[in-house]
Each structure stands twice: as structure tokens, then as C-alpha cells.
């Protein structure tokens, strides 16, 4: 199968549901992940093995991993903050661990209750056992484009964390714009910079559309040489430990953009729109996604009666 121009990792089951105030029943989560597997995503972030007190919405991570029907072509990813989370992810049969630490120490303490050195010590404990159990390890730098408490994060700091992650032997790195503080210029420059350290097939960009710049940031990153992106169906998502956080780049809006400009994603927009249309019932409110409301660009409307001839 030809590699897509843009590889989308679907993160709605994790980033999307972690911030929802209602607890989505385990069976419903399993149904969502199964539908995403059927929709052809090669990577799905399924849940988080974090403290159930910190994120009650994902307290059923084991049961979700235990319940899903796995597509052999799909990588099932679990977010993990520490050694205990890694042990749970290994036992649950995750294919990949997504370790997260924030560039901003303040956000890392708010989110993970850890200083950088504690998070890095945890990562050093995780990589060996995960690899020995056959899992790959991706490491995310949250707040890479700015922190709601500390502001802009220096490139030198991002570079240093990338180097530390690589020295621990991680298989991939994600730069995450946790609260939508990135802009296309900064994205272009940071992506160009980090691509000197990390090859493009190991670098993922994770944008939030908090300030309406999600899709332009994806395009800027793509033009700078990146091709792997996180996105969430319906544009769900957000960090419960960051003030004002809101949704990820919306998967079907991104697929629509790619379809319109001739970039292959390997995903079918019509199928994604049908799936996205089921989300309001699942979570009890409208979703931020736009194409699901407006329809595809060429879903034409009937000509008004008074303009019709005869």
C-alpha cells in the first residue's frame, strides 16, 4: 500500500474524551475505537494509563483495550506518564506507549505532578521494559509552542528535550501545541529545526484549534517537511490541566482540506462524516468540527424554486 502524503493519527478516544465531563461508557468507547479501526486509521490513541483520580473519564483504559477488535494494520497507542502507566499499558496489550512531558516545567507539574527530572527518570525506566515487551515508545513534548502559565518555550529548550528523548532510545517524537499557542511561522521554524534531529517519519505534530489556527499550522508544518499529524474526530479534545484548553485539529476537516488540495490521507471523508455525526449523542453536546455541519464542498444544494426555468 502506498504511504499517504499526510498520515493522521486519530486521538479522539484519548485526547477527545479525557476532557469530557460525562463518563462515556466503556462499551461506547470500544464501539468508537472499532469504528475508527474500520475507517482505516493506521494509528489510534485509544486511552491513557494515568491516575484515575487525575482523569476519571479514562479510568477504564484496561477494559477498553481488552474490548476492542484489533485491525492488524492499526497501531493502538496508550498515553503513559510514568512506570506504573507503562506496566499497565504493557499488560493491556498496547502496541505503542506515548510518554508525555511538557516543555514548561510549570505545566508538567500541573499536569503530571512531576518536575522535568522526575518525568525523565520515569521515561528512562519505561523504554527498556516497553521494548522488551515488543512495544514502541513515542515521547511527546507538550506545550512545545507555548504554555498557558509560562508563555513561549525557547527552541533551545525544545532541542534539548528532543536530544534527551533520543538518548533514551525513543522511537518517535511528538511536538504538541497543548493550548493552541502556535502560529504558522513558529511552526515552520521549529519543524525545520527539529527535523535536523529527527527524521520526518519519526516526527508527529499535535495541534489544537484553540485560536482557529489548527489547520494552517498543519499546512505550515507539512510545507516545512513534516507529514505525521494527530487529529480528533469532530475536533474533540483538550488538556484538563490547562486553562482555556479546547479541541484538537478536527480529523474530518483536515481530511477535507487534504482532499481539496490533492494530498492523500488514505481516509474516506464521507465515512468520517458519518462517524462524526454520531459524536453529539455520545458526549451530549455539539462538536467543533465544521465540515460535519456544512457538508462537503460539492454537496450542492437545490437551486431555489424561483430561479428555476419553466
Binding site for ligand COA (CB under 6 A): 18, 48-51, 54-55, 79, 81-82, 84-85, 88, 100, 111-113, 142, 239, 241
Q: Which helix (H) or strand (E) holds 33?
A: helix 26-38
Rounded Cα–Cα distance for residues 174 and 142 (Å): 8
Rounded Cα–Cα distance for residues 229 and 250 (Å): 11
Asked if 45 interacts with Zn ion (CB under 5 A), we say: no
The residue written with cell numbers 487525575 in the block is 54
C-alpha cell recorded at residue 203 = 516526527
Nearer to ligand COA, 209 or 256 (CB): 209
Residue 241 binding: pick among ligand COA, Zn ion, none (C-beta 5-8 Å cut-off by kind): ligand COA
State in angstroms the smallest separation of the CB of 258 from ligand COA: 26
Nearest CA among 33, 45, 39 for reference residue 77: 45
Asked if 177 interacts with Zn ion (CB under 5 A), we say: no
Inter-axis angle of helices 184-194 and 214-223, to 10 degrees?
Answer: 40
C-alpha cell recorded at residue 193 = 529545526
Asked if 15 interacts with Zn ion (CB under 5 A), we say: yes
| Catalytic site positions | 239
State in angstroms the smallest separation of the CB of 89 from ligand COA: 9
Residue 253 binding: pick among Zn ion, ligand COA, none (C-beta 5-8 Å cut-off by kind): none
Residue 272 binding: pick among Zn ion, ligand COA, none (C-beta 5-8 Å cut-off by kind): none
Question: Applying CB under 5 A, what is the total number of residues that bind Zn ion?
Answer: 1
Rounded Cα–Cα distance for residues 59 and 274 (Å): 28
Nearer to ligand COA, 206 or 222 (CB): 206
Are 130 and 119 in contact by the 8 Å Cβ rule? The answer is no
Residue 82 binding: pick among Zn ion, ligand COA, none (C-beta 5-8 Å cut-off by kind): ligand COA
**Cα angle 15, 208, 288; round to 5:** 80
Asked if 188 interacts with Zn ion (CB under 5 A), we say: no
Count of residues making up the chain: 310
Nearer to Zn ion, 90 or 206 (CB): 206
Nearer to Zn ion, 11 or 137 (CB): 11
Neighbours of 136 (CB within 10 A): 17
Q: Which residues bind Zn ion (CB under 5 A)?
A: 15
Amino acid at each position: 500500500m502506498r504511504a499517504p502524503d499526510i498520515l493522521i493519527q486519530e486521538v479522539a478516544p484519548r485526547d477527545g474524551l479525557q476532557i469530557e465531563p460525562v463518563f462515556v461508557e466503556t462499551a461506547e468507547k470500544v464501539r468508537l475505537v472499532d469504528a475508527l479501526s474500520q475507517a482505516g486509521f493506521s494509528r489510534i490513541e485509544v486511552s491513557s494509563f494515568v491516575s484515575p483520580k487525575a482523569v476519571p473519564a479514562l479510568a477504564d483504559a484496561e477494559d477498553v483495550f481488552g474490548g476492542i477488535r484489533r485491525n492488524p494494520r492499526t497501531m493502538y497507542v496508550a498515553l503513559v506518564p510514568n512506570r506504573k502507566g507503562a506496566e499497565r499499558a504493557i499488560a493491556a496489550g498496547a502496541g505503542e506507549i506515548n510518554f508525555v512531558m511538557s516543555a514548561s516545567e510549570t505545566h508538567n507539574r500541573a499536569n503530571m505532578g512531576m518536575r522535568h527530572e522526575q518525568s525523565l527518570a520515569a521515561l528512562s525506566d519505561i523504554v527498556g521494559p516497553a521494548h522488551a515487551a515488543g512495544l514502541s515508545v513515542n515521547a511527546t513534548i507538550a506545550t512545545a509552542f507555548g504554555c498557558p502559565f509560562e508563555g513561549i518555550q525557547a527552541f533551545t529548550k525544545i532541542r534539548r528535550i528532543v536530544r534527551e528523548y533520543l538518548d533514551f532510545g525513543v522511537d518517535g517524537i511528538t511536538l504538541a501545541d497543548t493550548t493552541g499557542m502556535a502560529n504558522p511561522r513558529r511552526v515552520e521554524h521549529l519543524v525545520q529545526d527539529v527535523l535536523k534531529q529527527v527524521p520526518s517519519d519519526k516526527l508527529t505534530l499535535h495541534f489544537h484549534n484553540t485560536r482557529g489556527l489548527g489547520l494552517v499550522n498543519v499546512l505550515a508544518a507539512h510545507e516545512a517537511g513534516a507529514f505525521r499529524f494527530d487529529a480528533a474526530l469532530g475536533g474533540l479534545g483538550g488538556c484538563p490541566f490547562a486553562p482555556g484548553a479546547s479541541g484538537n485539529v478536527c480529523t474530518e476537516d483536515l481530511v477535507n482540506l487534504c482532499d481539496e488540495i490533492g494530498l492523500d490521507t488514505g481516509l474516506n471523508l464521507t465515512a468520517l462524516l458519518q462517524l462524526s455525526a454520531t459524536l453529539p449523542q455520545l458526549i451530549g453536546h455539539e462538536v467543533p468540527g465544521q465540515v460535519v455541519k456544512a457538508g462537503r464542498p460539492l454537496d450542492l444544494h437545490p437551486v431555489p424554486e424561483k430561479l428555476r426555468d419553466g
